[in-house]
Amino acid sequence: MFKKILVANRGEIACRVMRTAKKMGIATVAVYSDADARSPHVLMADESVRLGPAPAAESYLKAELILLAAKETGADCIHPGYGFLSERESFARACAEAGIAFVGPPPEAIAAMGDKIESKKLAKAAGVNVVPGFLGEIADTDHAVRIAGEIGYPVMMKASAGGGGKGMRLAWGEQDVRDGFEATKREGLASFGDDRVFIEKFIEQPRHIEIQLLGDQHGSIVYLGERECSIQRRHQKVVEEAPSPFVTPEMRKRMGEQAVALARAVGYYSAGTVELIVSGADTTGEGFYFLEMNTRLQVEHPVTEAITGLDLVEQMIRVAAGERLAFGQDEVQLNGWAIENRVYAEDPYRGFLPSTGRLVRYRAPEAGPAPGSSPQRKLGSLAAFDALRTGETPAFAGVTDDGEAQPYIRIDDGVAEGGEVSMFYDPMIAKLVTWAPTRDGAADLAVAALDRFELEGVGNNIDFLSALMQHPRFRSGALTTGFIAEEFPDGFTGADASEAMIRKLAAVAAVLDMETAWRNASISDKLDDRFIPREDRAVLIGERRYDVSIDGYDRGLLVNLDPQESPLDVVTGWKPGQRQFVATIDDEAITVGVKRTRTGWRLNAHGRTHVVRVMTVRAADLAAHMIEKVPPDLSKFLLCPMPGMLSALHVAEGDAVEAGQPLATVEAMKMENILRAERPGVVGKIHFAPGESMAVDAAILDFV
């Protein structure tokens, strides 16, 4: 077995690999850019080596610097993580020449599958279903328009070396191709060093399903079930789960066997993923098509680990060391359900625009068995075998002493409070993984865990993730890759709150206000020691008003919202100053984010922030007559929606523009964002030039 491993990546995946390496007794080496000098993965490692400046092209993407760091530290193997370098066969070859093991597939397999165009040709030659499309060289935009017309709209334009949702454009007509082809080429070149683009038919109402493979260097290859990755935004996965609610055992077998056959055809070993586009309208189980093979570990690998009990990173390391897989296909069992939610630094209330800045506060929910959960199922044979072989319980299994498993929470992150979310890298903050015996149980646990996140300093998508987990269509399993666009066509404004939830939040606000008032009344040496807080108050939340009274008893508080209904039984240990109100209301657990305002509280729970005012009944009567302040009109300005660089201006001062016309292009997080006119107008003064950096809400130009 290896003695020292260098992780050629950053963030949560670097921490993830190091945790397994330490469990295996392998020393770890971190590499870092200037932006990551104090990042958790650097602090976690036994040794660390600086690569260079913050941009990935000057640090993490420089293979020669990675190899030099490995030689200097005496590392005998390199794990590429998700693959700054995992799709570069030249790096794998260079490792072999240097006598350093590469924890991944052979370079020939990387070359065969890393190029989307060539991999589709190989898949087609092997008899695997592929999506209709054009796999040759595309000369220019006019050529792309002709090809798209021949295939038939809608079509998808993809960077050949792309991945992670970058370098992809959907075209519903000729103008979309003309607008997006060159941008797709530029994104492919900027992110992957390859500007080749291919075009394929876009399957409407598609599901994105992938098969996890694992093979050794002795010819054994198994598939570890499937993952459903259909909840995507701009082709970037947001939620993944295993297994898929759509796939039957028979369909799983057919897809798995095809994936294994394709991997065997290119001599594949290590972990890898075959991605498929599946027609949700085809109930025969035959409507699946090869998209690509990712020759690396996937971001969503934890859900496969959760339902199999395997540590995929450990398996990759053992395969790289020449060990055989210790199990066969018949021993693979899938147990329970796992869901992964990706917590991103982006603002869903502002069109999901990227957010950068310092994590002023970061507290993830506690990982481990869910509070109050009980054992539900025995571990499968894979996990049991792995436990016997290593003398430990399987990684992340959430097991009790008698070998049974119970619902649990897993957090994979690579950030820390006080750290910075940089514009140079992916905006993912953490991955929340929940496992339970049933799909609804895993989703319910995810909602509860999302409520327990504390994250301040950057915009985040926690409310949006909670809304997804509660959405009736998600719960029904009727997923497509267009889910988000279809269900949130006008953007995101917060999850819907039931009447029961509104009542609970009104009770929470009343208890918060009462506890704060009693704390203030207990302060010594006040001017008036005779002050006793009132225990009745008016609570205004949305359009509702509750005249509340509170009675205490030996176990908790009885909150009366309506004399015609039973009071709510609130049990809590909350104290003024705490940022989360953790309680049971009528014996149901609830966690509410708490922030004081001038007239009440901002309460966040279940995917929505509620502004609640608490006052005396007399003040509430008078407040009904107050005039609301009208917000300023900002429609005369084109505001920069995110921190970024102005890469292009499409208009000049004095130009007349129409609604929908491109005005400017802003580059952020390696993505180009085209800003368009919302209505007709005339361009007045332009305040920035291409190449200049801008802060969020900076006025790029104004209209006369």
Own/partner contacts of 471-474, CB < 8 Å, gap of 24 or more, are 474/231, 474/443
Cβ-contact 347, 389 below 8 angstroms: no
Burial of 322 (0-12, 13-18, 19+ CB in 10 A): exposed
DSSP3 helix / strand / coil % (the chain, rounded to 5): 30, 30, 40
Cβ-contact 312, 19 below 8 angstroms: no
Largest CA distance in the chain: 88
CA–CA dist 246, 387 (Å, integer): 31
CA–CA dist 552, 44 (Å, integer): 48
Known active-site residue 292: yes
Angle (CA) 523-529-535 rounded to 5° is: 80
Alpha carbon 128 to its chain centroid, in Å, reads 30
Q: Which of 77, 116, 128 is nearest to 263 (CA)?
A: 128
For 242, the 3-state DSSP assignment is strand
Own/partner contacts of 695-698, CB < 8 Å, gap of 24 or more, are 695/640, 695/643, 696/353, 696/355, 696/640, 696/641, 696/642, 696/643, 697/639, 697/640, 697/641, 698/639, 698/640
Cβ-contact 151, 133 below 8 angstroms: yes
Residue 433's H or E segment, with its range, is: strand 428-436
Written as one string, the DSSP assignment of 296-340 is: S--TTHHHHHHHH---HHHHHHHHHTTPPPS--GGG----SEEEE
- Number of C-beta neighbours around residue 507 at 10 A: 27
DSSP lists the bridge partners of residue 338 as: 242, 435
Q: Are strands 404-405 and 377-378 parallel, antiparallel or unpaired?
A: antiparallel
Q: Hey, what are 361's tokens?
A: 């506060």
Of 210, 292, 300, 305, catalytic: 292
Q: Which of 108, 159, 153 is nearest to 132 (CA)?
A: 153
Cβ-contact 628, 657 below 8 angstroms: no
Cα–Cα distances in angstroms (integers) from residue 328 to residues 37, 382, 597, in the given order: 42, 9, 59
Query: Torsion-angle region of residue 678: left (phi > 0), alpha (psi -120 to 50) or beta?
Result: alpha
CA–CA dist 267, 195 (Å, integer): 28
Residues marked active site are found at 292
